[in-house]
Amino acid sequence: MIRRKSLLVYCIAGAFLSLFSAPVLACTACFGQSDSSMARGMNMGIFALLLVITSVLCAIAGFFVFVARRTAQMENPRLDQPLSQPQTNA
């Protein structure tokens, strides 16, 4: 019974919103004026976010490569070069 009432209320609210809402217009970037300043600004924002995400992912990958090389070097000290150079007092 309660479920039917809530379904009826949701249907009435949805019909009310769809009938009496103002028309929604797309921005110039989505509507077709791709040469406007708003579209250029949006594209620059997308490229900036893409650059940030790519640099963070590359930094994370670089850290894991560093950890893998360091682990391999600790397991086999004769690989590439020793972990620490002996210090001499001159």
One-letter-per-residue 3-state SS of 13-55: HHHHHHHHCCCCCCCHHHHCCCCCHHHHHHHHHHHHHHHHHHH
Look at residue 81 and tell me if it is in a domain: no
62-76: pLDDT as tens digits? 999 999 998 888 877
10-21: pLDDT as tens digits? 889 888 888 877
As for how many domains the chain has, the answer is: 1
Look at residue 59 and tell me if it is in a domain: yes
Answer yes or no: pTM beyond 0.95.
no
23-61: pLDDT as tens digits? 766 666 566 666 778 778 888 999 999 999 999 999 999
In the chain the first and final C-alpha atoms are separated, in Å, by 92
Q: How many residues are present in the chain?
A: 90
The structure tokens 């560093």 sit at 66
pLDDT score, position 47: 96
- Domain of residue 52 covers 2-75
